[in-house]
Structure 1
Amino acid sequence: MTTDAPEAPFAADLALALELADLADSVSLARFRAVDLDVRTKPDRTPVTEADLAVERALRDRLAIARPDDGVLGEEFGTEGDASRQWIIDPIDGTANFLRGVPVWATLIALAVDGVPVVGVVAMPALGRRWWAARGTGAWTTDAPGTTSDGSVEPRRIAVSQVADLADASLSFQSLAQWRDAGYRDRLLALADRVWRDRAYGDAWSYMLLAEGLLEIVGEFDVKVYDLAALIPVVEEAGGRFTSITGEPGPGHGSSLATNGLLHDRVLDVLR
């Protein structure tokens, strides 16, 4: 007699999140680089496009059918419901890139339970890439067609690097202006002086490069829960560590620091 292994506790939610990502991709790609794309400026002076709004509406409509008892938090339409289970959506993370035709943007989909992100999907359809994770399942990705030596597009498990010395680490910091405005520019430069390489890859992509073991440190300021919630399960299931710049766990502190785990405390010491 054989016994099947028990299903991971959030397997069905992860499957739904991946379905939502398919839906989001179909909506966003249809308007990417459209010559008649409608762009407006929100009260906080950040841009929003018709695609941001359409993606979030589509995902909310699907969740209302698939998970009617769950809450939803989205960048464009706010919070709906107060359940312990909350879906968190950033319809297009990197709207400025999207509206300029730069392919580095993502749809971020997360499920949080009692405020803790347990499922995360990061879809970057203009690059042909996707990353996902749920608690206890590991972190996974698919490569863009034609970018692997064997032509495979099968899911592969990913893990952070084992770099244990700051002098060998690669750092992604978003933008100097962001760190300057937060009063941390000098500390960022001190960290950059300690590492092997520094670059500003930008937005969700930096965290996914970290989860794949391609760099070791990512930090930024002026970030909201919907900017970070989907990233946390992927980074942590890949073996990394994710806190605020001052070391608090979770996505709700206005800043983020993700590392391969081995370097986290040393980076916090430099930034203090």
Structure 2
Amino acid sequence: MAPEVIEGQAYDGRCDWWSIGIILYECLYGHTPFLAEEGRQETKENITNFQSRFFFPQQPHVSDKGQDLLLKLIRQRSDRLCSRRYELKDNGQLDAGMSTDFFGRHVFADDGEDIKAHRWFRNVPWDELHMLKAPFVPRVDGPEDTRYFDESDTGADLTNAREKRALTPAEVRCVLEECHPATRNLAVDLVSKPAGEANLRDVDQQIEDALDVPLDEKSLLKRFVRECGPKERKRPRDKILRDPKTRDVALDIRKKTAFSGYTWKRMTPRTYVGLL
């Protein structure tokens, strides 16, 4: 959530472009920038104080164009990159009643023009994007084929799931035998305890701060921890899905009725005009 939403201020379409910046950051770095291990309240405090909590990790390398785009999305609402029309509205140079929703909040149509014009997207053919073949096309056997979904997140009783056996110190050193001794020693320490998403941020920072670990081995060590280190057990938040007596039936019903009554229909240009 954008800081203005957390603070209970009046917000507009610009809060969604903050969220896009957060998602882009996670796509590039593998984690969100403000997640706190302590919990939601601490995460919210990180967001409201984002100017002092925001930073770019050294690895992986992201171009200056990518970092510039992130900096222009993850910033105060008044300076956030999206559309100059919001700035004009804030300055009273635009009719405030032109583009409001039912609750009076401002959402300008096609308000991402300044983002699309950013130099990071210089070679993106926006007008033809919908006609290009996707870089990854799922291959499924039918509407019930769920091969691309992680079964561990569907509501199984993960408290009784078999955990992956932790590697012994000797096995860790054997796998990383070509690495520097300091790298192997740190790896033994890092995979000795389970890590969740929030912990991995601290792990990455610990690796970055390790002066005796060669720079060219730090990325390898981060990947090793993610692939070979034990993971924290996940449990469904829903009590019904945690109960062995009800989880299977409830999950089956939810799968069958998740999209009941919903259909997708392409809107005609005339319909779009009617919404403006």
Give the TM-score band, short-chain normalised.
under 0.3
| Structure having the larger proportion of residues in strand | 1
| Structure having the larger proportion of residues in helix | 2
Scaled by the length of structure 1, the TM-score of the pair is 0.22
Scaled by the length of structure 2, the TM-score of the pair is 0.22
Larger radius of gyration: 2
